[in-house]
Amino acid sequence: MANKYYMAVLDRIPKSPGRKSAPVLAEEMGNSERKNRMIINKLRAEGEIICADDRGYFIPATEAELTAHYRKLRGCALSMLKTLKAERRKLIAAGVDMKKLEGRKNG
């Protein structure tokens, strides 16, 4: 469960159609945009659905907003996995010990 400070950040993010820009949120919370991104990512990892667009952060109010958010997030994840797979192949071809690189134990 998120701590009170994280919940305070969540409470400042408006439901759509409202938006809260990263600089405004940082100013209101008294910390950096980077710190807020970290907090928002942790909240998302706990299941909070927080969307973002070019106008700022928001809580989705419609199925269309949820769908767009989900597809954007899924696309980013798949793109990262595709890149990771290609780089992993290159590393294996170069003889890199992937178990060691990935922090896995032998066995």
pLDDT at 1: 57
pLDDT at 104: 86
93 pLDDT above the threshold of 80: yes
Determine phi and psi for 72, rounding to 5 degrees. Answer: -65, -50
Quick: pLDDT tens for 5-27: 899 999 999 999 999 999 999 99
Quick: pLDDT tens for 30-84: 999 999 999 999 999 999 999 999 999 999 999 999 999 999 999 999 999 999 9
| 58 contacts 13 by C-beta, under 8 angstroms | yes
Q: Cα 7–12–16 angle (5° rounding)?
A: 115
Q: What is the chain's length? A: 107
Q: What is the pTM of this model?
A: 0.80
Rounded alpha-carbon distances, angstroms, from residue 36 to 1, 95, 107: 17, 40, 40
Cα dihedral 35/41/44/48 (nearest 10): 10
- What is the band of 105 on the pLDDT scale with cuts at 50, 70, 90? confident
Tokens of 3: 């701590």
